[in-house]
Amino acid sequence: MAAIREYRCFLKVVCQRFMTIYLCYTFSDISEFQDNEYGNCFTFNPSTQNRELYTTSKTGKQNGVTLILFVEQSEYLTLLSEGVGFVLSVHNPNNHPFPEDESISVVPGYETSIGISISETKRLGQPWYNCTKEDKTPYGNYPYSTSACRKECLQTFLRGKCGCENAISKNGYKKCNMLNKTQDLCHQMIRYLHNHGKLTCNCPEPCSRYSYSMTTSLAVWPSDGYSERLLHLLHVMNNKTKAIKTSTLRGNIALVQVYIDSLHIETVSQEKAYDMFDLFADIGGALGLWIGMSAVTLLE
């Protein structure tokens, strides 16, 4: 059995730092979901019907969001935990995140600055390119994505062939039991076929897609002089942090700053190189050149 990867996905303390004042967001700004690889994960600024999305029209760290993340090393499984830290994924608020596919690692004891730039890809679709204009994906009520489609395809084969799933399911399907040899062998075979592209999964790229590129930089945090003050603030905000001492502070917290690096959106569009209008124009030009035929000649 592989060692359990016990990185925490997102947050325990969520605050935006402005000079020496900490402005905390409410927990209605955070949604929780279960990820098969990382367990409890949290999404900040999710797209839901009950709240308005936070937006910004400015660039720079001072106009982004700042998170203080609490590792809680005391809750790690000592013999099975290979590393300590977080994984963070930046995505469209309407899309379901998959941190095991697209994420970066956040290290305790450092300030991680993440600048975001956005690009858009537009494809023509059939017959010029094999893409889909589907609005929804089978993997929950989210806009279509290739990753979500492939994961749902895998679960569909597991349910049909093995009678179980390998994901945390909300649909009542039981999770594959590694102690059940029949299920375990079936699960391993389906995963092998899926990883090598042997399963029939119709999951083309979306015809329109936004991509988020992240530029990261690191700095040691907190400084020796600021540690005592920060520790006092953490003890006030979160009772669980009272177990942290000055000597263990850097090993248990991380600072993350996420901001827009540029307001420009780079667009890559697929266009027809030769359409019907160009074809008829070329035919007319050729006829006029070689036999002197024109629209006036035809009328006469």
- Please write the tens of the pLDDT for every residue from 6-58: 333 433 334 444 333 344 556 677 888 888 778 788 888 888 767 788 888 88
Report the residue count for the chain.
Answer: 300
pLDDT of residue 55: 83
- Which tens digit of pLDDT belongs to each residue from 219-273? 999 888 888 888 888 888 778 788 888 888 888 889 999 999 988 888 888 888 8
Residue 241: count of CB within 10 angstroms of its CB:
20
pLDDT of residue 299: 58
**If you write DSSP's letter for every residue of 7-33 in order, what string do you get?**
-B-S-SB-EEEETTEEEEPPGGGEEEE
pLDDT of residue 280: 76
Q: What is the pTM of this model?
A: 0.75
Fold annotation for 1-118+212-271: Acid-sensing ion channels like fold (2.60.470)
pLDDT of residue 19: 36
| CATH class given for the domain over 130-206 | mainly alpha
| pLDDT band per the 50, 70, 90 thresholds, residue 71 | confident
Coil, strand or helix at 216: strand
Segments making up each domain of the chain, as ranges: 1-118+212-271, 130-206
pLDDT of residue 11: 38
- Which tens digit of pLDDT belongs to each residue from 123-178? 988 888 888 887 776 555 567 888 888 888 888 899 889 988 887 665 667 888 88
